[in-house]
Amino acid sequence: MVLKLWLKDRSTGKTIGIGRESQGLYHLTSDSSAAVCISTDAPLLIHNRLATLVSPSSRRWSSFFHFVVASVPFTSFMSHHGILHQSSCAHTPQQNGVAERKNRHLVETARTILLHSNVPFRFWGDAVLTACYLINRMPSSVLHDQIPHSLLFPDQPLYFLPPRVFGCTCFVHILTPGQDKLSAKAMKCLFLGYSRLQKGYRCYSLETHRYFISADVTFFEDSPFFSTTSESLPVSEVYHRRPRVVALSLFPEAPADSLPIPSASPAPALPSPNDLPIASESTHEALSHPGWRQAMVDEMAALHSNGTWDLVVLPSGKSTVGCRWVYAVKVGPDGQVDRLKARLVAKGYTQLDIKNAFLHGDLAEEVYMEQPPGFVAQGESGLVCRLRRSLYGLKQSPRAWFSRFSSVVQEFGMLRSTADHSVFYHHNSLGQCIYLVVYVDDIVITGSDQDAQSSSGVVLSQRKYALDILEETGMLDCKPVDTPMDPNVKLVPGQGEPLGDPGRYRRLVGKLNYLTITRPDISFPVSVVSQFLQSPCDSHWDAVIRILRYIKSTPGQGVLYENRGHTQVVGYTDADWAGSPTDRRSTSGYCVFIGGNLISWKSKKQDVVARSSAEAEYRAMALATCELIWLRHLLQELRFGKDEQMKLICDNQAALHIASNPVFHERTKHIEVDCHFIREKIASGCVATSFVNSNDQLADIFTKSLRGPRIKYICNKLGAYDVYAPA
């Protein structure tokens, strides 16, 4: 039932406005007031309402209904009767301070009860009505701590019904006759305030999507209807970096029109931010908390045990660097608190997350640092720290850490790869091997000993990481699509309105870029949206949202690795000639298989404009050849597989002829010399090229946006596999 409101003048009985109810608010039509004012026979009535400067009511009327003066008949009527209408200037809210201040009071109160109760923002209308209801029934300092409702209606009770907690769980008793004896006698609802027309509570059912007005309601005020979910919290409150550390710098709030409204069904609850320890901002606060104090003591113990510094008198002519404590809550994969972290950081603020990793690096430079706040011993306040080892925040720390680590592992007989300095290996006389891979301060160790392995192979998947991205962006309940990018859409710079928060776009694209480690099917779309990081617009944001909708269709998809009985290295290469609508540059793409398993892929925009499709394909072949040569050196050092000829497959006959024909040609004389090294590798027998039909070109997915069936076909050939929904 649609409720209407007729606003009439008491003296004349004329209808001033008609309003329709929407979420508890009445919206007046814009032309009704003007028509009534023109039709009245009492000019004095309009004069009193619009022009009398001494009447407070006229000023309010004029400011509130200033939008009707655009009517030419109404303006002519006022001019004819000598009425002077005064209104505020456009976009000047400070000229209407009383109303604007009250609006701020209502909005801040509504925002508070929404965030406290975790109620979705789509119920903002109910929150504003509830805020108004409560404000009118609380003491006001303007009225000398008297209650507005009691002053306006002294004969009425303050509350017809006892006040309840907004957003709590309630059960509305079903009083409809004819119900089955075994059917439910109450319906679970969300409490959203009080009815203004009836003496009842406003309750909303998320099952039937209906409002119920009833006084026969049972409340569970200690049980919020919404737990901390992607629906109830804005993006600014659900943000976890990798690794999942609850830090202080969070996402700014997303624009209201940039994300789809999730469905009303609550998702599985995560730990509430109120249940997690708060990362302290000051040393004084941290020292008063037992957990943070113990974390600081542990950090100081690690620093002293490693001999990080000596306390000395600062030499003349030397300066010190400052230091500060940084606090963070380490959260485990299950969302529970793992430990509290306190790190002493030299000002420079380069910070990593492995326990005490950078404290093991030897420092060659002479660096002095102030003593840590909160740990200055009595009588040593005039001393400074002469750093002997690297410390978090120093620019030398990464180099010192890796140099120390490299020397230690080589003392144990490990050899550092010349093809990749982050790879260390060791082979013994029995043919056994150990491989060690370092990424900053994360270390992976593997070897030839096999304890247990599935006969189907090994699947690398980032399902949890993908679901975390969907949750953080409120896309868990979005409608999935079968393509990560619309083939009919070409993105260009400045397409649409600029985003209000470009940093949020950049962070999300960075997360997707990390997801491409196990999702080759989104490499090209992520490469495209990465080209607009400087000044993203709403069309670029829509493209990122589409990638998320595609991920929603297969969040657990990864890459399958299995034993196929050989170690042949095969590469597919492709190019999309002049695919960029902005600068007409081409896109190179390749994928490399070892033993039939995908181990390397890339989608990259070419640096120069290609004059022909053959040239674009030839440049893509050169890029793939570089990858093949590097892999050959790495595999030789690791003694992996046989030293056999590598294959490079392309679907362009002209490019294959250019690569195999060393004769100077007019069509290729402008191509850079470094691209022609592919001819040398082919002539030496290191790489062999072959042709493939375009329908069987697996690198096609790295150069252009494809249709759903084509994407599915190529993904199957690439070894895409979903453990949670196997084909």
Q: Which two tokens stand for residue 54?
A: 């001494």
Peptide bond before residue 243 is cis, with ω within 30 degrees of 0: yes
Provide the mean pLDDT of the chain: 79
8 A C-beta contact, residue 284 and residue 359: no
How far from the centroid of its chain's Cα atoms is residue 483's Cα?
21
- Band of residue 266 on the pLDDT scale cut at 50, 70, 90: very low
- pLDDT tens digits, 161-210: 899 999 999 999 987 776 777 788 899 999 999 998 888 999 999 888 88
Q: Which two tokens stand for residue 677?
A: 């090294």
H or E stretch including 633? helix 613-637
pLDDT of the residue at 571: 97
H or E stretch including 172? strand 168-173
pLDDT of the residue at 167: 94
How far from the centroid of its chain's Cα atoms is residue 519's Cα?
18
Backbone angles phi, psi at 613, to 5 degrees: -65, -35
- Report which of 33, 10, 7 is spatially closest to residue 20, judged by C-alpha positions: 7
| pLDDT over threshold 50, residue 264 | no
Distance CA 225, CA 477 (A): 18
- Band of residue 319 on the pLDDT scale cut at 50, 70, 90: confident
* pLDDT-wise least confident of 289-293, 481-485, 584-588: 289-293
pTM above 0.75, yes or no: no
State whether residue 522 is helix, strand or coil: helix
8 A C-beta contact, residue 586 and residue 608: no
Q: Reduce the secondary structure of 394-437 to three states and give it as a string.
A: CCCHHHHHHHHHHHHHHHCCCEECCCCCCEEEEECCCCCEEEEE
Strands 569-576 and 646-650 turn out to be: parallel
| pLDDT over threshold 70, residue 277 | no
- pLDDT tens digits, 37-73: 444 455 555 555 544 444 444 333 344 444 444 456 7
Distance CA 338, CA 331 (A): 5
pLDDT of the residue at 573: 97
H or E stretch including 587? strand 587-594
Strand ranges for 48-200 from DSSP E: 168-173, 186-194
Which CATH superfamily does the domain covering 564-692 fall into? Ribonuclease H-like superfamily/Ribonuclease H (3.30.420.10)
- pLDDT tens digits, 229-262: 433 333 333 333 333 333 333 333 333 333 343 3
What is the average per-residue pLDDT within 481-489? Answer: 93
pLDDT of the residue at 247: 34
Domain boundaries, the chain: 4-87, 100-224, 283-408, 412-447, 458-550, 564-692
CA atoms within 13 A on the CB side of 232: 23
Percent of the chain with pLDDT over 70: 76
pLDDT of the residue at 310: 83
- pLDDT tens digits, 399-431: 777 887 888 888 888 888 888 888 898 888 777
Distance CA 521, CA 711 (A): 7
pLDDT of the residue at 269: 40
pLDDT of the residue at 207: 84
What are the b/e assignments for 503-532, b being 16+ CB within 10 Å?
Answer: ebbbebbebbeebbebbbbbbbbbbbbebb
DSSP state of 524: H
pLDDT of the residue at 54: 43
pLDDT: is 584 or 281 the higher one? 584
- pLDDT tens digits, 540-575: 999 999 999 999 999 999 999 998 888 999 999 999
State whether residue 336 is helix, strand or coil: coil
pLDDT of the residue at 422: 86
Distance CA 333, CA 8 (A): 62
- pLDDT tens digits, 570-604: 999 999 998 888 899 999 999 999 999 999 999 99
Q: Work out the burial of residue 129: count CB atoms within 10 Å of its CB; fewer than 13 is exposed, 13-18 middle, 19 or more buried.
A: buried
8 A C-beta contact, residue 557 and residue 519: yes
Beta-carbon contacts of 314 under 8 Å, excluding residues fewer than 6 positions away, are 320, 368, 383, 384
- pLDDT tens digits, 354-399: 344 455 556 667 778 888 888 887 777 778 888 877 776 776 767 7
Q: Which two tokens stand for residue 3?
A: 């409720």
Distance CA 586, CA 187 (A): 60
Distance CA 694, CA 352 (A): 46
8 A C-beta contact, residue 306 and residue 379: no
Q: Which two tokens stand for residue 173?
A: 């008793």
* pLDDT-wise least confident of 118-122, 325-329, 438-442, 465-469: 438-442
What is the average per-residue pLDDT within 65-94? Answer: 68
